Chain A
Amino acid sequence: MNRSILHELRPLPRLAQSTATGFTLKVENPVEVSLVIPAKNSTHSLETTVREAHAYLLNRFSNSFEIILVPNPSGPDDPSDRVAESLARQLDQVRVVPHEKPPGKGAALQTGIVKSRGNWIFFTDSDLPYDLDFFDQAIEKLRGGYDLVTGNRRLASSHFHIPVSLLRLAYGRHRLGLGFNALVRMLFPIQTTDTQAGIKAFSRRLAVETFSRQTCPGFLFDLELFLTAHGQGLSQTDLPVTLHLNTEKSTVRILREFVLVAYWLSRIWIQNRRGYYGKRADAVKGILSRYRGADFSTRFFLYARWKLTPYQKMSSKLPGRGKILDLGCGHGLLALTAALESPHRQVLGVDHDPQRLELANRAAVPLQNLRIEKGSLLEPPEGALFSAITAIDVMHYFTPPFQEQILRKAFERLEKGGVLLVREVNPTGGWISRWNRTYEKWATQIGFTQANSQGLHFRTPEGWEEVLKSIGYKVRSERCSSFLFADILYTCERL
């Protein structure tokens, strides 16, 4: 094992948030956007990237942006620093923040971000394999209340431009990446399928929280970004990207990379277990004890429902800040989860059943950011637009025309880029679906769930997607339930 690997195994020291270093939430002379580009072994591509990015940002943010180049030359032959200097001389908004050691992309990025002044921080690779259009959508998401927006190369709508000579490598990487992220999803509370994409946008809040905690100097720092976002109750979302592959790392030193990955994965895993990045699970701990006053059957029902329904997964689809409306909140489990997980959310739950409203209100007592009200799904509350609306397991109580009406109303009440979450039983999913439908019927008859006497109306996933698309949403659907149920979550974005 050579010397350099020892460098890469040494954790970074924890940074203090201090005015002395300038690394705080509030900075002097803030700008809207900082774009940080670490540069290593890149000469020509660095120049074109910076010029392209400069033109792009100038077009969108006039003067309120900065580009921070972090040259980290690999040796005397690497002219990255000279290129960066000359660029800084030519372009007004470009600054150079040299980084010396320790080696590694994560460390270099930290150096750059500590010196940044932007409200939002963008980061991309110096050879710019991604389309910058990503940032257009990312800005919208950040404004909509998300703290971390990452590019995801594995979403169905992501596109690859691959020279045929790299097809094999690209495919190998794709498979490797899928495997790696499956592992990551297993080990960590991370939902995304691509943590390592070289294009990301995040809020200053997340930057400060993450990079003050950062320990990994290498390429796994991305994981710390995700974990901090999760632990601090900040919300994350991903967007499809268009990737232009020009060159691929063709000589991977397998042993070395393996050692690094194994080491840092386990280290980050331990840190995460110890709560180094904050503990989101703590936020919702004891959520059921808030219903202490209810009778036994209700508490049993709530217990089962909490155990069998991935509320936290649904909550993670919601923006981290802004107004959120939970239609048909029932006992308010999702509303509570959302409110508990992020104090920056203003959650409003609406239901028609007075008994449940009372319970939900009692459970919500000390929380300032959660309100439960009586209301109807067909007439959502007026006022400022919402950044997210949820309708979990309620649509099937309405006839199809009413369903459509509710979705339309929700569309009107959402701000641009806002999210609508709809969860419904999939009636075409084989015996599980049949059992689900029967269960819903029983539950309604027994009185577990209360509905108007309209009967139950299910649609196929295709049917839902069609309706949602026709109203103007962009829909992504996925399975979202325990193995006993066949529910599908439709994450809809108002375009």
Chain B
Amino acid sequence: MKDSKKLPHYLQYGTFILSGLLLAIALPLYAHKISIKTDYTDFLVYYRTALRVAAEDWQNIYTLSDGQSPFRYLPPFAGLFRPLAAFDAKTAPLFWYAVQWLAFGWGFFFLFQTLRKVTRNAFWISCISLLFILRLCLDTFTIGQVSSVMFFGFSLGLWGYLNSRSALAALGISIPMLFKIGPGIVFGTFLSRAKTEQHRALWGALFTVLGFILFGEIWGYFALGSFSAYHALWASWVGIVNADSQYYDASHYGSQSLNSVLLRFANQGFFSAEAAHHIYLGIAGVLCVGLFLFWLLRSPKSLLGRGHFYTLALFPYFWLMPETFKYSLTPLAFPVAFLVAGLLNSHARKGLQRWTWFALAFGFFTITVAGKDLVGDVVFFGIQKLSLPWLATVILGIATGWHAWSESKLSPFARLLSEALLYRNSYCLGPWRRLPDENRTLALSVLVPLPLANWGSLDPVFIQKTVRELAKKIRASIGEEEFELLIIPYGNRIAPFTHQFHPALNLLKNDLQIQTLIRFVTRERDEKVAGEKSTDSDFDGRGGALREGFLTSRGKQFLIVHLEQACEPDFFPKALRALHEGYDLVRANRRQPESSFEIPVKILPLVYKRHRLGMVFNRLVRVFLPIQTSDTHSGNFGISWRLAVNAFSTQISSHFLFDLELSLAAKALELRELDIPVKINLEAEKKFPRLLFEGLTVLRGLPILWERYRKGCYGPMPRPTKITADDWGLSRGVNFGILCLAKKGVIKRISIMANGPHLQEGLEELLGLGSQIELGLHFNLTYGKPLQTTPNPTLILENGTFIPSPFAFLRRWMKTPKQVRREFVRKEFQAQMDVLEKLGIPISYLDGHHHIHMVPGLLKELTPELKTLKNVRLPLDSSLLFSAQAPISFLAYLARPKFKSFGLSYLPFVYPGPRHFSDPGYFRAYLRKYENFEVIVHPAEKNDLAFLQYPDAYQEGRVTEFQTLQMLGVKS
């Protein structure tokens, strides 16, 4: 993180001068102040305790007779304060003052050392943060708090945290935690660290705390003479803490915590003190859980970010301790230092910078400047009672949180969660990018997905051995017929592992003389920008890999092999035999009584537990889904071409659940299934993160599969008769897309744009298709140029083109005199019909580009022309009422009686949207439901619409439509 800006000169000089003044003047001045101060300070409490310890007056260490300020720290601290008693009342405060300066000095030393790793301005930033808390420091010394020692602890913790010295960091954090329990929350930041660091931190903390307790025991034994006497001291400590919490009033001016703010409100009568307490507990709970989640789900991108993570942890201590004193705010030096460092970070965003400036300035004026001696009593107490210092910490906390967010990314755990739970990642494979070869020249395709991922990859030698054995078995069982073996790598570590596998696979190839497909697709999820369409959606997990293999394959039957659960190769000849006998799905079933496992003993517990888990899972599956088998996920299958086509074309899961979809497809199509017992060889079990991931995918995915099955997404291929493609003539891609689908018999009706720039492209071929295709006029008033020679300028743009928006056209239409618009429409209609007639295109129906023919009054003007053309589209689809297309439906609803009165005929109509096309299985179910409806589609073979003279808004979606429709043409 060295790409930070240099601190501005005026700040450098300012901090230099101020720091100099502080050292030269303020320190001696305050030393003097201490020496003459005689009234109450916190130091007096420690000194009094030390004197009592020295006098062995154990009864009065913890006593309520001390009034508002008894000694409250743990008994071992009494031993630690003991040396103070060696000084007289005059020198003891000076000695304590020196101790405090030492603690602060070391604290700032560690802060400086930490910042040096992060920025070039370490020295200046340290000075700024010192100045920020300057007054607090001085106040602190005056009053004699232990917060300087706590400051040192926080600082050591920060240093250790940024330098990956977690045990030391934990030691540091434990120091303030032993004084006050609140800082213990800082340990939460270790959630964002690696497991080993967490363990070290745990040990470090245990070591410190136990050491402290041990010290107490030893000291107590020698000082008090017996353990029981010392333990009595503990008991009286418990007593004082209990009694203490009853009488303090957290709403007094000095307290700057959430609790005191709420109590001040309560005192003003906004709510009761009890309600304030509940609100406090609620906010504290939410805040802590939120912070823990933040640490768990984000991981810092840089050292600077790690610093923000740590300093963020200080804020709950400031906010949530029942009583936080203004002079406990000294650790604000750490967030302030990192905020300044964040400001100088050249990547920081404008809004963030502004907020940071504001936070620092607000904090400076309400915390630093507003001291009694500078602003006077009235202002000082006013500021304190208004909780402005507390508010300043809130604003600083928000700034720190914002910085922490922008300097962090999703943690691996969060990525695992999102991948397992988000629909778009795991459950939306979309249509096939290409069609499988329909000319099945080989007898058999063996699909072998090869996992290459963080969560586990396989030994190349093992793969080579397994695949060779498998290939030999298959060769022996199918004789001379040709087959292919497709090895499809998948996972997030394909590139790094590639070099390991290439030699092994090449050897295999030479050895077996068979075709091996090796496709390597890298995926980089980290860099994926939010909202960007994922490019790897068809190639994610095992399900995706299998689909890729299927689309490349040329065999008439399929064997699917699961390398991680390799079953004895005997299964595959058996499966082939069953396929020949007419079964469509042959599963290896690990749970039939005849099945057996061959495992090394070290994984026996895992295997057993997963076996039990699998039984439960399959029971669940049998309850919710119409699947009857006891093992859906052995991963070793034999499937027929018929099932393969249907299963892969209705698949949405790219991961673990594809195996279930296979069974669902077989069930929905009423195909024959067979389970064969197997012998499974396992060498290693799945790792925990992977099991968790799969568990989550199941939880998220099962309801999706259930709903899809219920809707009929896995059902047989529909045979729709009235799919209508619009926009012929718009571009080459559109024309050839439509032509391709028409040839396959998917599209039966085509609407032609007479003024389309590419009208004639492929037209001859289209007309050659003859009467199996119905052609219609896609009457157009919103795209390109009018065809009539002298169009009236009121209904077109100034440059002579149509108004490109149907709504703008509608508004203009309403304002135009009837005579003008009648003439305009009639002339245009005639011109468009003439062009088509000239080209010999037989027109049998009418519809409108952008459904422009639904513009009120437009069809009425065309009644004379419509004498010959009685078929008109009525775009009335009730499902559109809640979409952006609602106005069309509404207009269609209004127009329906008119259609009848004009004697026009129309077909029932549906208009599928992107959600239908992105899931081919869903689209299938949809088409089956609306078999004789007019289904309008806008396919394009490729997206060339951006290159048109008048671009069209709907582009990439056309290609998706084409791909989905294309799948309907595949014969099973």
Residues of A within 8 A of B (CB): 153-165, 167-168, 170-171, 174-175
In the assembled complex, which residues on chain A have CB atoms less than 8 Å from the CB atom of B591? Answer: 164
25 contacts between A and B (CB under 8 A): A154-B601, A155-B601, A156-B600, A156-B601, A158-B600, A158-B601, A159-B598, A159-B601, A160-B604, A161-B596, A161-B679, A162-B596, A163-B593, A163-B595, A164-B593, A164-B596, A164-B611, A168-B608, A170-B604, A170-B608, A171-B604, A171-B608, A174-B601, A174-B604, A174-B605
Which single residue of chain A is at the shortest CB-CB distance from B680? Answer: A164
B592 at the interface (CB under 8 A from A): yes
The yes or no answer to B597 lying at the interface (CB within 8 A) is: yes
Taken together as a complex, chains A and B put the C-alpha atoms of A35 and B31 apart, in Å, by 94
What CA separation (Å) do A155 and B604 show in the bound complex? 12
How does the 8 Å CB contact mask read for B607-631 relative to A, with 1 for contact and 0 for none? 1100110000000000000000000
Q: How far is the CB of A153 from chain B (nearest CB, A)?
A: 6
Least CB distance from A353 to B in Å reads 39
> Max chain A CB contacts within 10 Å: which of B591, B601, B611?
B601
In the assembled complex, the Cα of A161 lies from the Cα of B605 at a distance in Å of 14
Complex: chain B residue closest to A152, CB-CB:
B601
A164 & B601 in contact (Cβ 8 Å cutoff): no
Closest B residue to A175 using CB positions: B605
Assess whether B48 is interfacial by the CB under 8 Å rule.
no
Q: Which residue of A lies closest to B679 (CB)?
A: A161
Whether B599 pairs with A153 at a CB distance below 8 angstroms is: no
B748 at the interface (CB under 8 A from A): no
Known contacts A165-B593, A167-B611; A160 and B605 CB within 8 A of each other:
no
Select from chain B the residue with minimum beta-carbon distance to A174. Answer: B604
Given contacts A158-B601, A160-B604, A167-B597, 12 further A-B contacts (CB under 8 A): A154-B601, A155-B601, A156-B600, A159-B600, A160-B598, A160-B599, A161-B598, A161-B679, A162-B597, A168-B608, A170-B604, A174-B605
Q: Are B597 and A161 neighbours in the complex by a CB distance under 8 Å?
A: yes
Residues on the A chain within 8 Å of B604, using CB: 160, 170-171, 174
| B594 CB within 8 Å of chain A | yes
Main SS of the interface on chain B? mixed
A158 neighbours in B (Cβ, 8 Å): 600-601
CA distance A330 to B743 in the complex (A): 92
CB-CB nearest 5 A-B residue pairs: A171-B608, A163-B596, A164-B595, A158-B601, A165-B593
Q: Does B732 sit at the interface, judged by CB under 8 A?
A: no
B778 at the interface (CB under 8 A from A): no
User: Which of A154, A159, A167, A171 has its CB near the most chain B CB atoms (within 10 A)?
Assistant: A167
Q: Let me know if B593 and A156 touch, CB within 8 A.
A: no
Residues B601 and A160 in contact, CB atoms below 8 Å apart: yes
Give Cα A167–Cα B613 distance, bound, in whole angstroms: 13
The answer to the question of B590 belonging to the interface, with a C-beta cut-off of 8 Å to chain A, is yes
Q: Is B600 touching A167 in the complex (CB atoms < 8 A)?
A: no
> Which B residues are CB-close (under 8 A) to A161?
596-598, 679
B594 proximity list for chain A (CB < 8 A): 163
Task: Report the Cα distance A174→B602, complex, angstroms.
Answer: 10
- Determine the distance from Cα of A174 to Cα of B679 in the docked complex, in whole angstroms: 21
Chain A residues contacting B593 (CB-CB under 8 Å) are 163-165
CA–CA, A160 and B601, complex, Å: 6
B601 / chain A contacts, CB cutoff of 8 Å: 153-156, 158-160, 174
Rounded to whole Å, the gap between the CB of B166 and the closest CB of chain A is: 12
Q: What is the bound-complex CA distance between A175 and B592, given in angstroms?
A: 24
Residues on B with C-beta less than 8 A from A162 are: 596-599
CA distance A164 to B611 in the complex (A): 9
Chain A contacts of B595 at CB under 8 A?
163-164
Nearest chain A residue, comparing its CB with the CB of B594:
A163
Q: How far is the CB of A89 from chain B (nearest CB, A)?
A: 35
Given the complex of chains A and B, what is the CA–CA distance between A156 and B608 in angstroms? 16
Which residues of chain B are within 8 angstroms of A171 by Cβ–Cβ distance?
Answer: 604-605, 608
Also in contact, A167 and B592, with CB within 8 A (given A156-B602, A160-B598): no
Which residues of the other chain, B, contact A168 by a CB distance below 8 angstroms? 608, 612
Nearest B residue to A162 via CB reads B597
Given A171-B604, A171-B608, A174-B604, do A164 and B598 touch, yes or no (CB 8 Å)? Answer: no
Which residues of chain B are near A163, meaning CB under 8 Å? 593-596
A-facing residues in B578-594 (Cβ within 8 Å): 590-594
Interface set, chain B 856-912, CB cutoff 8 A to A: none
Most buried by B among A153, A154, A164, A175: A164
Of all chain A residues, the one with the shortest Cβ separation from B683 is: A159
Residues of A within 8 A of B592 (CB): 164
Q: Who on chain A is nearest to B200 by CB?
A: A430
**Complex: A30 Cα to B259 Cα, angstroms:** 92
> Looking across the interface, which residue of chain B has its beta carbon closest to that of A159?
B600
Q: Which residues of B contact A154 (CB under 8 A)?
A: 601
Distance (whole angstroms) from the CB of A435 to the closest CB of chain B: 14
Whether A167 lies near B602 (C-beta < 8 A) is no
A157 to B599, CA, bound (A): 10
Measured between beta carbons, the chain B residues less than 8 angstroms from A170 are 604, 608
- A123–B593 CA distance with the chains assembled, in angstroms: 31
Indicate if the CB atoms of A167 and B598 lie closer than 8 Å: no
B597 A160 Cβ-Cβ under 8 A: yes
Q: Is the CB of B600 within 8 A of A164?
A: no
The CA-CA distance from A199 to B602 in the complex, in Å, is 20
How far is A168 from B605 in the complex, measured between Cα atoms in Å?
10
Expressed in whole angstroms, the minimum distance between the Cβ of B955 and any Cβ of chain A is 54
Q: How far is the CA of A159 from the CA of B608 in the complex (A)?
A: 14
Which of chain A's residues has its CB closest to B599's CB? Answer: A160
Give Cα distance in the complex from A161 to B679, angstroms.
9
Chain B residues whose C-beta falls within 8 Å of the C-beta of A156 in the assembled complex? 600-602
CB neighbours of A174 from chain B (8 A): 601, 604-605
Residues of B within 8 A of A155 (CB): 601
* Contacting pair A159 B599 (CB below 8 A): yes
* Closest Cβ neighbor of A157 among chain B residues: B600
Once bound together, how far apart are the Cα atoms of A456 and B817, in whole Å? 103
Measured between alpha carbons, how far is A170 from B599 in the docked complex, in Å?
12
Counting chain A CB atoms within 10 Å of each CB, the highest count among B592, B608, B679 belongs to: B608
Nearest opposing residue in chain A for B677, CB measure:
A164
Within the complex, what minimum Cβ distance (angstroms) separates B570 from chain A? 14
The reply to whether A167 and B605 form a contact with Cβ atoms under 8 Å apart is: no
B595, chain A: closest CB distance, angstroms: 4
Q: For residue A170, which residue of chain B has the nearest CB?
A: B604
With a 10 A CB-CB cut-off, give which of B598, B604, B611 has the most chain A CB atoms: B604
Q: What are the residues of chain A within 8 A of B607 when measuring CB–CB?
A: 167
Point out the residues of chain A lying under 8 angstroms from B608, CB to CB: 167-168, 170-171
A residues less than 8 Å from B596 (CB atoms): 161-164
Question: Do the beta carbons of B605 and A164 come within 8 Å of each other?
Answer: no
State the Cβ distance, A132 to closest chain B Cβ, in Å: 17
Q: Closest residue to A156 on the B side, CB-wise?
A: B602
| Chain B: CB-nearest residue to A168 | B608
* A interface footprint on B545-569 (CB within 8 Å = 1, 0 otherwise): 0000000000000000000000000
Give which listed residue, A157, A160, A164, contacts B590 with CB less than 8 A: A164
Which residues of B, 491-545, contact A by the 8 Å Cβ criterion?
none
Give, as a whole number of angstroms, the nearest-CB distance from B123 to chain A: 34
Q: Give complex CA distance A161, B598 in Å.
A: 4
Cβ–Cβ < 8 Å partners of A164 in chain B: 590-593, 595-597, 611
When distances are taken between beta carbons in the complex, the residues of chain A under 8 Å from B590 are 164
Bound complex: CA A153 to CA B607 (Å) = 16
Question: CA A153 – CA B604 in complex, angstroms?
Answer: 11
Closest to B593 in A: A165
Residues of chain B within 8 A of A153, CB atoms compared: 601
Q: Which residues of B contact A157 (CB under 8 A)?
A: 600
Complex Cα–Cα for A224 and B611 (A): 37
Q: Which residues of A contact B597 (CB under 8 A)?
A: 160-162, 164, 167
Q: B597: nearest residue on chain A (CB-CB)?
A: A162
Those of B462-491 within 8 Å (CB) of chain A: none
A242 to B, closest residue via Cβ? B598
CB A133 to nearest CB in B, in angstroms, measures 15
Q: How far is the CA of A161 from the CA of B597 in the complex (A)?
A: 5
| Residue picked from B591, B599, B612, B679, most chain A C-beta under 10 Å | B599
Chain A: which residue is nearest B589 at the CB level?
Answer: A164
CA distance A154 to B602 in the complex (A): 7
Minimum Cβ distance to chain B for residue A258 (Å): 24
